[in-house]
Amino acid sequence: MPKLPSSRPRAITLSHSAIGQDSPFFTRLPLEMREKVYLNAFGRRSIHIDLCFDHVDFFGPGHANLRTPFFKDASTPKEWRWWSCVCHRMQKEVNSELFVLAFWLDRCRSGEQTYCQWVFADKSECFVGALGWLLSCHQAYSESISIMYSTNTFYLGQHVGEPLLFQNIDSLFLPQRLASMKSLELAWNFDHFGPKAACPDTGKPIFDTFLNTLTSNFPNLTKVHIEVQTENYVQERLGASLQPEESLLSTVIFPMDQMIAHFGTQLRFCELIVGWSYYQALRKALGESNSVETLFQSTSTRKFHRHADNGEGALEYWAGYLPDIIYFAHQ
Protein backbone atom coordinates (compact mmCIF):
# COMPACT_ATOMS: atom_id res chain seq x y z
CA MET A 1 0.00 0.00 0.00
CA PRO A 2 1.42 3.44 -0.96
CA LYS A 3 1.51 4.92 2.54
CA LEU A 4 3.19 8.20 3.38
CA PRO A 5 6.85 7.97 4.44
CA SER A 6 7.53 8.36 8.14
CA SER A 7 9.71 11.40 7.43
CA ARG A 8 10.37 13.73 4.51
CA PRO A 9 13.70 15.23 3.43
CA ARG A 10 12.09 18.67 3.01
CA ALA A 11 8.77 20.41 3.42
CA ILE A 12 6.48 20.66 0.41
CA THR A 13 4.19 23.37 1.76
CA LEU A 14 6.37 26.36 2.55
CA SER A 15 5.39 29.40 4.58
CA HIS A 16 4.44 32.49 2.59
CA SER A 17 7.51 34.30 3.90
CA ALA A 18 9.72 31.67 2.28
CA ILE A 19 8.05 32.01 -1.12
CA GLY A 20 9.00 34.51 -3.76
CA GLN A 21 7.68 34.34 -7.33
CA ASP A 22 8.09 36.86 -10.13
CA SER A 23 5.13 35.66 -12.20
CA PRO A 24 2.55 38.42 -12.92
CA PHE A 25 -0.14 36.09 -11.57
CA PHE A 26 1.46 36.35 -8.13
CA THR A 27 2.82 39.90 -8.31
CA ARG A 28 -0.17 41.71 -9.87
CA LEU A 29 -3.17 39.81 -8.50
CA PRO A 30 -3.77 40.16 -4.75
CA LEU A 31 -4.11 36.98 -2.72
CA GLU A 32 -7.89 37.43 -2.39
CA MET A 33 -8.27 37.42 -6.17
CA ARG A 34 -5.97 34.43 -6.56
CA GLU A 35 -8.01 32.50 -4.01
CA LYS A 36 -11.17 33.18 -6.03
CA VAL A 37 -9.39 31.81 -9.10
CA TYR A 38 -8.40 28.66 -7.18
CA LEU A 39 -11.93 28.24 -5.85
CA ASN A 40 -13.51 28.39 -9.29
CA ALA A 41 -10.83 26.27 -10.93
CA PHE A 42 -10.40 23.53 -8.32
CA GLY A 43 -13.09 23.85 -5.64
CA ARG A 44 -16.82 23.46 -4.95
CA ARG A 45 -17.12 19.99 -6.46
CA SER A 46 -17.82 16.46 -5.28
CA ILE A 47 -14.73 14.35 -5.84
CA HIS A 48 -14.42 10.58 -5.80
CA ILE A 49 -11.22 9.09 -4.37
CA ASP A 50 -10.49 5.38 -4.59
CA LEU A 51 -7.52 3.19 -3.73
CA CYS A 52 -7.47 -0.49 -4.63
CA PHE A 53 -5.16 -3.38 -5.47
CA ASP A 54 -6.50 -4.42 -8.86
CA HIS A 55 -6.09 -4.59 -12.62
CA VAL A 56 -6.14 -1.43 -14.70
CA ASP A 57 -9.51 -0.16 -15.96
CA PHE A 58 -10.50 -0.55 -19.59
CA PHE A 59 -10.63 2.92 -21.12
CA GLY A 60 -13.55 4.10 -23.22
CA PRO A 61 -15.68 7.09 -24.24
CA GLY A 62 -17.74 7.18 -21.05
CA HIS A 63 -17.51 9.15 -17.82
CA ALA A 64 -13.91 9.71 -16.68
CA ASN A 65 -12.71 7.87 -19.81
CA LEU A 66 -14.19 4.60 -18.56
CA ARG A 67 -15.62 1.86 -20.71
CA THR A 68 -19.33 1.14 -20.27
CA PRO A 69 -20.15 -1.55 -19.29
CA PHE A 70 -17.30 -1.31 -16.81
CA PHE A 71 -14.49 -3.87 -17.08
CA LYS A 72 -11.01 -4.39 -15.67
CA ASP A 73 -8.20 -5.49 -17.96
CA ALA A 74 -7.30 -8.89 -16.51
CA SER A 75 -4.28 -9.13 -18.83
CA THR A 76 -2.50 -6.47 -16.77
CA PRO A 77 -0.88 -7.25 -13.40
CA LYS A 78 -2.62 -6.20 -10.22
CA GLU A 79 -1.03 -3.29 -8.39
CA TRP A 80 -1.95 -0.47 -6.04
CA ARG A 81 -3.88 2.13 -8.00
CA TRP A 82 -5.21 5.55 -7.04
CA TRP A 83 -8.29 6.69 -8.93
CA SER A 84 -10.18 9.96 -8.79
CA CYS A 85 -12.79 11.89 -10.73
CA VAL A 86 -15.29 14.72 -10.38
CA CYS A 87 -18.71 13.36 -9.45
CA HIS A 88 -21.14 13.55 -12.37
CA ARG A 89 -23.97 11.48 -10.95
CA MET A 90 -27.20 11.67 -12.91
CA GLN A 91 -29.55 14.61 -12.57
CA LYS A 92 -33.23 14.64 -13.37
CA GLU A 93 -35.95 17.25 -13.44
CA VAL A 94 -39.11 16.75 -11.38
CA ASN A 95 -41.86 19.39 -11.45
CA SER A 96 -39.41 21.94 -12.88
CA GLU A 97 -36.99 21.25 -10.01
CA LEU A 98 -33.58 19.69 -10.65
CA PHE A 99 -32.64 16.75 -8.41
CA VAL A 100 -29.24 15.08 -8.27
CA LEU A 101 -29.18 11.31 -7.91
CA ALA A 102 -28.87 10.40 -4.22
CA PHE A 103 -25.28 9.71 -3.17
CA TRP A 104 -26.01 6.12 -2.12
CA LEU A 105 -27.04 5.41 -5.75
CA ASP A 106 -23.82 6.87 -7.15
CA ARG A 107 -22.14 4.79 -9.89
CA CYS A 108 -19.41 7.16 -11.06
CA ARG A 109 -16.68 4.61 -10.32
CA SER A 110 -18.09 2.31 -12.99
CA GLY A 111 -19.02 5.14 -15.35
CA GLU A 112 -22.76 4.51 -15.03
CA GLN A 113 -25.74 6.80 -14.36
CA THR A 114 -23.76 9.95 -15.13
CA TYR A 115 -24.78 13.01 -17.12
CA CYS A 116 -21.43 14.16 -18.49
CA GLN A 117 -21.68 12.12 -21.70
CA TRP A 118 -24.55 14.38 -22.81
CA VAL A 119 -23.18 17.66 -21.46
CA PHE A 120 -19.40 17.62 -21.96
CA ALA A 121 -17.79 16.66 -25.26
CA ASP A 122 -14.39 16.83 -23.55
CA LYS A 123 -13.99 14.32 -20.71
CA SER A 124 -11.36 16.54 -19.09
CA GLU A 125 -14.35 18.03 -17.20
CA CYS A 126 -14.51 14.69 -15.34
CA PHE A 127 -11.26 15.54 -13.55
CA VAL A 128 -10.14 18.40 -11.32
CA GLY A 129 -7.04 18.89 -13.46
CA ALA A 130 -4.98 20.52 -10.72
CA LEU A 131 -1.83 18.37 -10.80
CA GLY A 132 0.08 20.49 -13.30
CA TRP A 133 -0.64 23.64 -11.31
CA LEU A 134 0.33 22.06 -7.99
CA LEU A 135 3.66 20.92 -9.44
CA SER A 136 4.44 24.24 -11.14
CA CYS A 137 5.98 25.97 -8.10
CA HIS A 138 5.90 26.08 -4.30
CA GLN A 139 3.70 29.15 -4.16
CA ALA A 140 1.08 27.64 -6.46
CA TYR A 141 0.96 24.54 -4.28
CA SER A 142 0.95 26.42 -0.98
CA GLU A 143 -1.86 28.81 -1.93
CA SER A 144 -4.23 26.36 -3.60
CA ILE A 145 -3.89 23.02 -1.80
CA SER A 146 -5.90 24.02 1.29
CA ILE A 147 -8.71 25.44 -0.88
CA MET A 148 -8.95 22.15 -2.75
CA TYR A 149 -9.33 20.17 0.46
CA SER A 150 -11.60 22.57 2.33
CA THR A 151 -14.13 23.48 -0.38
CA ASN A 152 -14.72 20.13 -2.09
CA THR A 153 -16.89 17.23 -0.93
CA PHE A 154 -14.92 13.98 -0.91
CA TYR A 155 -16.69 10.73 -1.70
CA LEU A 156 -14.70 7.94 -0.03
CA GLY A 157 -17.15 5.27 -1.13
CA GLN A 158 -16.55 1.55 -0.94
CA HIS A 159 -19.01 -0.65 -2.78
CA VAL A 160 -16.77 -3.63 -3.54
CA GLY A 161 -14.06 -5.18 -1.38
CA GLU A 162 -12.58 -3.82 1.82
CA PRO A 163 -12.65 -0.12 2.78
CA LEU A 164 -8.87 0.14 2.60
CA LEU A 165 -8.78 3.85 1.90
CA PHE A 166 -10.77 4.95 4.93
CA GLN A 167 -9.28 2.32 7.25
CA ASN A 168 -5.79 3.66 6.51
CA ILE A 169 -6.71 7.30 5.99
CA ASP A 170 -4.25 8.65 8.58
CA SER A 171 -1.30 6.97 6.84
CA LEU A 172 -2.35 8.00 3.33
CA PHE A 173 -3.09 11.70 3.90
CA LEU A 174 -1.20 14.32 5.87
CA PRO A 175 -2.96 15.35 9.11
CA GLN A 176 -3.30 18.95 7.92
CA ARG A 177 -5.08 17.77 4.76
CA LEU A 178 -7.59 15.71 6.75
CA ALA A 179 -8.11 18.67 9.07
CA SER A 180 -8.94 20.81 6.03
CA MET A 181 -11.72 18.49 4.84
CA LYS A 182 -15.16 19.75 5.81
CA SER A 183 -17.55 17.66 3.72
CA LEU A 184 -17.55 13.87 3.25
CA GLU A 185 -19.67 11.18 1.62
CA LEU A 186 -18.90 7.70 2.95
CA ALA A 187 -20.03 4.17 2.17
CA TRP A 188 -19.26 1.32 4.55
CA ASN A 189 -19.84 -2.45 4.68
CA PHE A 190 -21.26 -3.45 8.03
CA ASP A 191 -22.83 -6.72 9.22
CA HIS A 192 -24.65 -6.27 12.52
CA PHE A 193 -26.52 -9.58 12.64
CA GLY A 194 -25.50 -13.18 12.21
CA PRO A 195 -22.12 -14.90 12.60
CA LYS A 196 -20.16 -11.86 11.39
CA ALA A 197 -21.58 -9.44 13.97
CA ALA A 198 -18.47 -9.62 16.17
CA CYS A 199 -16.00 -9.78 13.27
CA PRO A 200 -13.43 -6.95 13.55
CA ASP A 201 -13.50 -6.51 9.75
CA THR A 202 -17.27 -6.36 9.13
CA GLY A 203 -19.19 -6.27 12.41
CA LYS A 204 -19.75 -3.80 15.23
CA PRO A 205 -16.01 -3.31 15.97
CA ILE A 206 -15.39 -1.94 12.48
CA PHE A 207 -18.38 0.40 12.74
CA ASP A 208 -17.02 1.75 16.03
CA THR A 209 -13.61 2.18 14.40
CA PHE A 210 -15.26 3.92 11.48
CA LEU A 211 -16.93 6.53 13.71
CA ASN A 212 -13.77 6.94 15.80
CA THR A 213 -11.84 7.63 12.60
CA LEU A 214 -14.28 10.42 11.79
CA THR A 215 -13.96 12.11 15.17
CA SER A 216 -10.18 11.74 15.47
CA ASN A 217 -9.08 12.65 11.92
CA PHE A 218 -11.60 15.25 10.72
CA PRO A 219 -11.74 17.94 13.42
CA ASN A 220 -13.35 20.55 11.15
CA LEU A 221 -16.07 18.39 9.64
CA THR A 222 -19.31 20.30 8.99
CA LYS A 223 -21.19 17.96 6.65
CA VAL A 224 -21.19 14.17 6.37
CA HIS A 225 -23.32 11.62 4.52
CA ILE A 226 -22.91 8.01 5.66
CA GLU A 227 -24.21 4.93 3.87
CA VAL A 228 -24.14 1.73 5.93
CA GLN A 229 -24.27 -1.27 3.62
CA THR A 230 -25.13 -4.65 5.08
CA GLU A 231 -25.38 -8.21 3.87
CA ASN A 232 -28.56 -8.61 5.94
CA TYR A 233 -30.37 -6.06 3.82
CA VAL A 234 -33.99 -7.21 3.65
CA GLN A 235 -36.34 -8.15 6.44
CA GLU A 236 -36.77 -11.75 5.30
CA ARG A 237 -33.04 -12.39 5.73
CA LEU A 238 -32.99 -10.78 9.15
CA GLY A 239 -35.66 -13.14 10.46
CA ALA A 240 -35.63 -13.44 14.23
CA SER A 241 -32.72 -11.02 14.46
CA LEU A 242 -35.17 -8.13 14.23
CA GLN A 243 -36.57 -8.91 17.67
CA PRO A 244 -33.84 -7.47 19.97
CA GLU A 245 -34.27 -3.85 18.87
CA GLU A 246 -32.17 -2.73 21.83
CA SER A 247 -29.08 -4.17 20.17
CA LEU A 248 -29.64 -1.85 17.22
CA LEU A 249 -29.64 1.09 19.59
CA SER A 250 -26.31 0.13 21.13
CA THR A 251 -24.80 -0.77 17.76
CA VAL A 252 -26.00 2.04 15.51
CA ILE A 253 -27.94 4.84 17.19
CA PHE A 254 -25.99 5.43 20.39
CA PRO A 255 -22.60 5.51 18.60
CA MET A 256 -24.10 7.94 16.06
CA ASP A 257 -25.42 10.10 18.91
CA GLN A 258 -21.94 10.18 20.44
CA MET A 259 -20.36 11.12 17.13
CA ILE A 260 -22.83 13.96 16.58
CA ALA A 261 -22.42 15.15 20.18
CA HIS A 262 -18.64 15.17 19.70
CA PHE A 263 -18.87 17.62 16.81
CA GLY A 264 -21.72 19.61 18.36
CA THR A 265 -23.23 22.50 16.44
CA GLN A 266 -20.16 22.56 14.18
CA LEU A 267 -21.72 19.62 12.31
CA ARG A 268 -24.40 21.40 10.32
CA PHE A 269 -25.66 18.37 8.40
CA CYS A 270 -25.41 14.61 8.98
CA GLU A 271 -27.33 11.78 7.36
CA LEU A 272 -27.15 8.04 7.86
CA ILE A 273 -28.51 5.65 5.24
CA VAL A 274 -29.37 2.05 6.21
CA GLY A 275 -31.76 -0.61 4.94
CA TRP A 276 -35.53 -0.30 5.27
CA SER A 277 -35.54 -3.34 7.57
CA TYR A 278 -33.11 -1.57 9.88
CA TYR A 279 -35.29 1.52 9.79
CA GLN A 280 -38.33 -0.45 10.91
CA ALA A 281 -36.43 -1.96 13.83
CA LEU A 282 -34.88 1.37 14.83
CA ARG A 283 -38.22 3.15 14.67
CA LYS A 284 -39.73 0.50 16.93
CA ALA A 285 -36.80 0.65 19.35
CA LEU A 286 -36.90 4.44 19.55
CA GLY A 287 -40.65 4.52 20.04
CA GLU A 288 -41.01 7.33 17.52
CA SER A 289 -44.65 7.62 16.49
CA ASN A 290 -45.05 11.16 15.20
CA SER A 291 -43.70 11.88 11.76
CA VAL A 292 -44.22 14.27 8.89
CA GLU A 293 -44.37 13.60 5.19
CA THR A 294 -41.87 15.31 2.96
CA LEU A 295 -40.53 15.18 -0.58
CA PHE A 296 -36.90 14.14 -0.80
CA GLN A 297 -35.30 13.88 -4.24
CA SER A 298 -38.67 13.27 -5.94
CA THR A 299 -39.65 10.46 -3.56
CA SER A 300 -42.37 10.75 -0.92
CA THR A 301 -41.03 9.70 2.46
CA ARG A 302 -41.62 10.19 6.18
CA LYS A 303 -39.22 11.43 8.82
CA PHE A 304 -39.05 12.02 12.55
CA HIS A 305 -36.73 13.79 14.96
CA ARG A 306 -33.84 12.22 16.78
CA HIS A 307 -32.15 14.11 19.62
CA ALA A 308 -28.57 13.83 20.83
CA ASP A 309 -27.09 15.74 23.76
CA ASN A 310 -23.48 16.81 24.18
CA GLY A 311 -23.99 18.35 27.62
CA GLU A 312 -24.42 21.83 26.19
CA GLY A 313 -27.95 21.37 24.91
CA ALA A 314 -29.92 19.13 22.58
CA LEU A 315 -28.65 18.49 19.06
CA GLU A 316 -31.41 17.56 16.68
CA TYR A 317 -31.29 15.49 13.53
CA TRP A 318 -33.88 13.90 11.31
CA ALA A 319 -34.64 10.22 10.82
CA GLY A 320 -36.68 8.98 7.92
CA TYR A 321 -36.73 6.41 5.16
CA LEU A 322 -36.73 5.85 1.45
CA PRO A 323 -37.44 2.47 -0.17
CA ASP A 324 -34.96 -0.01 1.29
CA ILE A 325 -32.93 2.75 2.97
CA ILE A 326 -33.12 5.04 5.97
CA TYR A 327 -32.52 8.77 5.82
CA PHE A 328 -31.03 10.50 8.88
CA ALA A 329 -30.44 14.21 8.70
CA HIS A 330 -29.03 16.53 11.37
CA GLN A 331 -29.30 20.21 10.57
45 pLDDT higher than 80:
yes
* pLDDT 10s digits, 193-248: 555 555 555 567 778 888 999 999 999 999 998 887 665 444 444 444 445 566 67
Contacts of 28 (CB under 8 A, 6+ apart): none
- Structure confidence at residue 326 as a pLDDT band (50, 70, 90): very low
Angle at 165 between CA 231 and CA 310, to 5 degrees: 80
- Write down the pLDDT at residue 175: 95
Output the furthest CA–CA distance in the chain (Å, rounded).
71
Q: Which of 11-15, 83-87, 291-295 has the lowest mean pLDDT?
A: 291-295
- Write down the pLDDT at residue 209: 86
DSSP reduced 3-state for 277: helix
* pLDDT 10s digits, 239-252: 444 455 666 777 78
The structural domains of the chain, with segments of one domain joined by +, span 157-331
What residue type is 8 in one-letter code?
R
276 pLDDT higher than 80:
no
What average pLDDT does range 255-269 have in this prediction?
89
- Write down the pLDDT at residue 325: 45
Phi-psi region at 297: left, alpha or beta (left = phi > 0; alpha = psi -120 to 50)? left
* pLDDT 10s digits, 95-126: 666 667 777 778 888 888 788 866 766 788 99
- Structure confidence at residue 256 as a pLDDT band (50, 70, 90): confident
- Write down the pLDDT at residue 246: 67
* pLDDT 10s digits, 7-20: 877 666 655 545 55
158 pLDDT higher than 70:
no
**pTM, rounded to two decimals:** 0.84
